[in-house]
Every structure is written in structure tokens, then in C-alpha cells.
Structure 1
Amino acid sequence: MYTLAARWHHLTAPLVADAALRETTFQELATAYQASGRHYHTLQHIENLLNRLERAPLQDAGVVQLAVWFHDAVYNPLKSDNEARSAAQALAFLQASTLEPARQQRVAFLIERTQDHTQPQPLDDVDLLSFLDADLSVLGASEADYWTYARQVRREYRLVPDLLYRPGRRKILAKMLAAPVLYHTPAMRQELDAAARRNLQAELNAWERGGL
């Protein structure tokens, strides 16, 4: 098993000749994901996605992995432009790469699609669907792991009082539960859908009773 640093350099060395730029960017990403306000959107989240996507039948694994690394590079719970800014950060790094412009834009596109997982997705885009499913895989985790995730997200919104957080979180949970499809790929749907819906309903019930 590669360390995360080794996995980053294995991915980017064929694309970016400047070793100093690769290392500086890795340190910038590591610093962002390890910021004091991060509790769920951390390097562990990145590692979990990379591990899960290793098992997915991707058409352009390199592009998907780049999207994983950058997709939460910017994460301010009080802002709505995190995905756009994360995509811009990826493109800024990739300007120095040999990656074709169309594939650079593809990285940005994948990142931007994580803004709202309940939106309709192109059914034939296996890489996008695999990426989005991996990003939501925590929803179908064991009950204990799901509650850890839910509390970590609440801590990331620690500046938002329960009076405001509760209705916002309830709305998000209800929206996901109402979505006809949570997981787009057959393997992930079979593995995680039922557990995810149980977990989401349990958290929604908790907030309707007053809180976690």
C-alpha cells in the first residue's frame, strides 16, 4: 500500500516534470485537508475514495484520481462555491502538466458535479458515476461509522447554531432520501443503497427529535 504522498507522486510524476511543484502542491493539499476545522473532509476521506475507486472499472483512472485529490481542496462550510474553487485549483496545477486540455477540463467537470449529488447524471458516464458513488459511500457505512461521519460533519459546521443547522441538515437528508437513485453504479447500489437509506432516515429522525 502506497503512502498518500507516494500515491500522489506516482499519479502526477508522469504528468508534471517539476518535482518541486508536485511536492509543493502535495503539501498545500495536505495542509488544506488537515486544517483544524476539518473533521470528515480530511486526508482519510481522500484515501478512502482512492481505495474504493481502485476496484471500479474506470475508463480514465488518472483523471478520476486527480479529481479525488482536488475535489475538497477548498472547503468552507459557509460558502457555496467550494467545488468551483477546488476545480480552479486543480486547473491551476494542471496548467504545468502534459495532460491534454480536454482531460484537464474533465477533472474540473468531475469536481464540479460533486456540488449536488441528487441532480440527474448522464447515465453513460461510468467514471463520473463511479466517482460520485465513491464520494457518497460513507452513507452506506456501518451504523457506528455513519454516526461518526454525521457528528464529524456537524463539527465542521460548528459555527452554525443548532437552530439553523437542524433545518438545513433535515432538508439535505430528506432530499437524499427522496432521490430515486442514491448510487448510480450497479455494484455500489447493491452494496450500499439499503444501508444508506437506513442511516439517512435514522439521522433525520434524530434531528426531528432535537439533535444527534
Structure 2
Amino acid sequence: MDTSLAAQWHQLTAPFLPDATRRDATLHQLVAAYTASGRHYHNLRHVQILLDAVQQQAEAVQDMPVVQLAVWFHDAVYNPMRDDNEARSAELALQFLADTTLPPDRQQRVAFLIERTKDHTQPQPPNDTDLHLFLDADLGILGAPEAAYWEYARQVRQEYRLVPDILYRRGRRKVLEKLLHTPVLYQTETYRIRLDAAARRNLQAELHAWERDGNLTP
């Protein structure tokens, strides 16, 4: 792991958990989860990209430590064969935070942010700028340049490698169609202006690929 990522973790958690041993133990737990052999997209690089994205919008964030904690834990539990990853990731965050000095309402807020990543197409609470930014950062890859998007699409397919192609094709098409048909893909104006059009082009291109032959190349 990049030492800068470890430094970011300790800078974030030291104010409410002085015990360096406990901080190290949880960091190692998270690193082990994000570097597991099946992690091709939902890995430490994804965590770092989200941390950077949130930091770039720091002036709009109301509670930076809470948002950063949500980033660290939001994909800590990731089993493509299950549908409760978000709930389990939120619970892992709460277990870590239980013995810290972070107030209970902010602990629950971390869990709430994580749980909202289960379905980005659902209506989100209005005026929740931290939630909106967090969700948009998580979907930032959809509006990435073409080559980066196709790399992401291939990496997600690798994470679902145990799923037969015919079943994955059907499931992935449903996901892509749902994203394309949602009226609000990005919650914040900044992301909508910058990424919405590109994201919809990328999603449509991948959908066409699965309708054609499943060849995930531009």
C-alpha cells in the first residue's frame, strides 16, 4: 500500500482514536479487504480516487471526516454474489467507530452514507450536500474518458468472473438500462455539467456491446 494512503488514514482517525495499535489493526483489515485477489475495480485505487475527489470539493463538504470514513469503508465488504455488501460495510464501520470518541450521531451518519450507495438511481434526500458529493464521486468513473471507462467495465466483469456470461450479460444490461433511464445520474451541479453527457455515452456504448457480442473494447 502507498504510504501516503496510510498517512491519510492515520491523519483522519487519530483525532478520535489515539490508540495507534487499533488504528493500525483496522487499516490492515481494510487493506486486506481491498487488495483481495478478486478486487479488480473496487480496490485501494478506487478508495484513493474517491478521497481525492472529495478533497477537491472540500469547500462544499460539511463534515469531511464523516465523508472520508464513508469512503474508506463503503466497499470494505464486497462479494459480487451477495446483495447486502453495503449493509455489511456499514456495520464494519460502526464496529470500528463504536469505541472511538466520534459522537454516535456522526457514527450513524457514516453508516447512512455507505448504505445509500446500494442504489444510485433511487431518489436521494434533498439538500444533503455531503451525501450528494459522496455518491457522485463514487459514480465518477461512468463519465471517465472512453479508455478508462472500458477498463472499468472489464474490471467489473472480472469481479463477477464466477457468473456465467449469459447471466452476467442479462444482469449487466439491466444495470446499464436502469442507470441510463434515471433522470438524475449525478446529484450535484458540478458533476452533472462535467460528466453527465459522457457518462450516458459510455453507458450506452457498453449496453450496445452487450447487445452485440459482449466485446468490452471501444
Q: TM-score range by the shorter chain?
A: over 0.9
1:162 corresponding residue in structure 2: 165
Residue 88 (structure 1) aligned with residue 91 (structure 2): yes
How far did 1:96 drift? 1.5
Deviation sequence 1:145-182 (CA, Å, 0-9, x none): 00000000000000001110001000000000000010
2:112 aligns with: 109
Instruction: Tell me which amino acid in the other structure corresponds to 1:8.
Output: W
1:199 paired residue number: 202
Tell me the TM-score normalised to structure 1 length: 0.99
Matched, 1:175 2:178: yes
Report the RMSD for the aligned CA atoms in angstroms.
1.0
Distance 1:152 1:4 in 2: 22
Corresponding position of 2:39: 38
Ranges of 4+ aligned residues in structure 1 off by more than 4 Å:
none
> In the alignment, which residue of structure 1 is the partner of 2:27?
26
For residues 124-143 of structure 1, the aligned pairs below 5 Å read: 124-143=127-146
Amino acid at match of 1:37: G
> Structure 2: 5+ residue runs without aligned partners?
none
3-state SS of the aligned residue for 1:147? helix
Distance 1:37 1:185 in 2: 32
Query: Quick one: which amino acid aligns to residue 56 of structure 2?
Result: R
* 1:151 corresponding residue in structure 2: 154
SS of equivalent to 2:16: coil
Deviations 1:100-154 (A, max 9, x none): 0000000000000000000000120000000000000000000000000000000
Letter in 1 for 2:46: H
Measured in 2, the distance between the counterparts of 1:49 and 1:41 equals 11
Amino acid at match of 2:205: A
Instruction: For residue 2 of structure 1, report the CA deviation from its aligned partner.
Output: 7.2
2:5 alignment counterpart? 4
What is the deviation of 1:210? 2.2
Question: In the TM superposition, what is the alpha-carbon distance from 1:37 to its structure 2 partner?
Answer: 0.3
Question: Partner amino acid for 2:128?
Answer: D
Structure 1: which amino acid aligns with 2:177? A
> What one-letter code is carried by the residue in structure 1 that aligns with 2:135?
L
Between the aligned residues of both structures, percent identity stands at 67
State the distance in 1 between where 2:134 and 2:110 align: 11
TM-score (norm 2): 0.96
Query: SS where residue 81 of structure 2 aligns?
Result: coil
Q: Number of paired residues?
A: 212
2:82 maps to 1:99? no
- Aligned partner letter, 2:43: T
**Amino acid in structure 1 at the alignment position of 2:25:** T
In the alignment, structure 1 segments of 5+ residues that lack a partner are none
